[in-house]
Amino acid sequence: MSEQPFETPASVGDLQDQLRGVGYLADRGLGTAALIALRLGRPLLLEGEVGVGKTELAKCLAQLTGRELIRLQCYEGIDTHQALYEWDYARQMLHVRALSEHELADAQTIGGLYAEEFLLERPLLQAIRSGSNAVLLIDEIDRADDEFEAFLLELLSDFQITIPEVGTVEAAGRPIVILTSNRTRELHDALKRRCLYHWIGYPTAAEETDIVRVRAPDVTEALAQKVVAAVHRLRDMDLAKPPGVAETLDWVESLGAIGADELTGESATDTLGAVVKDRDDLELVSSDIARVVPGS
């Protein structure tokens, strides 16, 4: 974490440079969206295919700003308690067992069971309390259901919550908020309206080669270009699970691990599991490896 307080960069170019400094390559569109979100203190909703750098942007922004990253991973069936706070029943029970009958008869004792010391903070409460010291990542919100989305909408507008037994907790300053969606379903317009929106597409071949060079500096430029070109051909193949940037990086690392400094039909086939992670896709690609690595 940086010791110096973070100052919002003066321009998109400056923010892009600073992000590059922490290993993240943002194109001009994403850099612009991020700068606006920082300046206006608005949540930024990032949509795109799996593995295009949505989650990573939140991590890198936390690193850049010296803020704590607080991540709420959404999933099917997530409810407000798992997101906000829960009471620590086990500790409450232990406490009750240690009380005398006399103490138990006292109504105040029972009230005391719902005190701060028995409260388990979950990511959203943690983010409200950390306020301007936090980057709040609400990850894969498309996995949560409608009801949870509505609850988030409310939270994002007030940044305060009321815990009946404790009172109202208000954010001391706003966290930077990044929401991500892999777009397995449409999000509601109301949520989109509250946020700035940016679609992250797959990087161009040149951009992706650049990402490989930053993330895997030991790889030669020539190999990086070849692997990226092969990944781009895979993305054109109509696979069930097209490879993201993470897979490109896995692929170059796997090639490195077997000491292959060239991408050939053979080394590609040997390491295909790093980049194609679906059985039917694997069959399709293996049977037509010359399409992925021409000349092999």
Ligand X SMILES: Nc1ncnc2c1ncn2[C@@H]1O[C@H](COP(=O)(O)OP(=O)(O)O)[C@@H](O)[C@H]1O
In angstroms, what is the minimal distance from the CB of 268 to Mg ion? 26
Q: Is 24 in the site for ligand X (CB under 6 A)?
A: yes
Cα(62)–Cα(34) distance, integer angstroms? 12
Cα(148)–Cα(76) distance, integer angstroms? 10
The H or E element that residue 255 is part of is helix 245-257
Q: Which residue has its beta carbon closest to ligand X?
A: 53
Give the x-and-dash track for 235-274 against ligand X (CB under 6 A): ---------xxx--x-------------------------
Give the x-and-dash track for 25-64 against ligand X (CB under 6 A): x----------------------x-xxxxxxx--------
Structure tokens at 237: 């193949």
Q: Is 63 in the site for Mg ion (CB under 5 A)?
A: no
Task: Give 249 or 292: the residue with its C-beta nearer to ligand X.
Answer: 249
* CA atoms within 13 A of residue 259's CA, in its CB half-sphere: 0
In angstroms, what is the minimal distance from the CB of 55 to Mg ion? 3
Give the x-and-dash track for 214-233 against ligand X (CB under 6 A): -x------------------
Q: At what angle do helices 205-215 and 245-257 cross, to 10 degrees?
A: 50
Cα(42)–Cα(197) distance, integer angstroms? 10
Task: Please list the residues that pair with 46 across neighbouring strands.
Answer: 180, 198
Task: Give 55 or 63: the residue with its C-beta nearer to Mg ion.
Answer: 55
Instruction: Note the helical H segments in 66-106.
Output: 80-83, 89-97, 101-104
* CA atoms within 13 A of residue 151's CA, in its CB half-sphere: 18
Structure tokens at 57: 């942007």
Task: Give 84 or 211: the residue with its C-beta nearer to ligand X.
Answer: 211
Q: Is 181 in the site for Mg ion (CB under 5 A)?
A: no
Task: Give 51 or 242: the residue with its C-beta nearer to ligand X.
Answer: 51
246 binds, options ligand X, Mg ion, none, Cβ within 5 to 8 A by partner type: ligand X
249 binds, options ligand X, Mg ion, none, Cβ within 5 to 8 A by partner type: ligand X
Task: Give 38 or 161: the residue with its C-beta nearer to ligand X.
Answer: 38
Strands in 68-73's sheet, in edge-to-edge order, are: 68-73, 134-139, 176-181, 44-48, 196-200
In angstroms, what is the minimal distance from the CB of 180 to Mg ion? 6
Are the C-beta atoms of 66 and 1 separated by less than 8 Å? yes
Q: Is 55 in the site for Mg ion (CB under 5 A)?
A: yes
Are the C-beta atoms of 254 and 274 separated by less than 8 Å? yes
* CA atoms within 13 A of residue 167's CA, in its CB half-sphere: 4
Structure tokens at 27: 């194109």
Candidate ranges 20-28, 161-169, 253-261, 284-292; the one touching ligand X (CB under 6 A): 20-28
In angstroms, what is the minimal distance from the CB of 123 to Mg ion? 15
Q: Is 181 in the site for ligand X (CB under 6 A)?
A: no
Candidate ranges 48-56, 184-192, 253-261, 270-278; the one touching Mg ion (CB under 5 A): 48-56
User: Residues interacting with Mg ion, by CB under 5 A?
Assistant: 55
User: Residues interacting with ligand X, by CB under 6 A?
Assistant: 23-25, 48, 50-56, 180, 211, 215, 244-246, 249
